[in-house]
Amino acid sequence: GAVVSQHPSRVICKSGTSVKIECRSLDFQATTMFWYRQFPKKSLMLMATSNEGSKATYEQGVEKDKFLINHASLTLSTLTVTSAHPEDSSFYICSARPTDSDYGYTFGSGTRLTVV
């Protein structure tokens, strides 16, 4: 089946530093990947749609300069949280949808970011 690999799974960083999260589709090509954020006991919130070879599409209220997205190849998208603050601490999840997946979106394993 389709697999999306995401790492790191957990990261602790100091305020003011930047953190890069990688999302790879291992056995399929993904022209589009999605980045979500989830707070405890809350629903998934779409942050941005990553498009291979072009600029990402950000949801309203998401700072483009703070959450940098790069989708340089058909199998890799990265999310960089720049100048992280404690309020950026959250669970970040990427997903993609293989074209033959019966419409099921496949999710990465998620990244638990803690900013101290």
Partner 1 sequence: GQNIDQPTEMTATEGAIVQINCTYQTSGFNGLFWYQQHAGEAPTFLSYNVLDGLEEKGRFSSFLSRSKGYSYLLLKELQMKDSASYLCAVMDSNYQLIWGAGTKLIIKP
By C-beta, is 52 or 82 nearer to partner 1?
52
43 vs 86, beta carbon nearer partner 1: 43
CA-closest candidate to residue 21, choices 40, 36, 1: 36
Comparing CB distances to partner 1, the nearer of 42 and 64 is 42
Report the interface residues with partner 1, using CB under 8 A.
6, 34, 41-46, 91, 93, 102-110, 112
**Residue 67 beta carbon to partner 1: minimum distance, rounded to whole angstroms:** 18
Torsion of CA 29, 48, 24, 88, to 10 degrees: 180
User: How far apart, in whole angstroms, are the C-alpha atoms of residue 37 and residue 48?
Assistant: 10
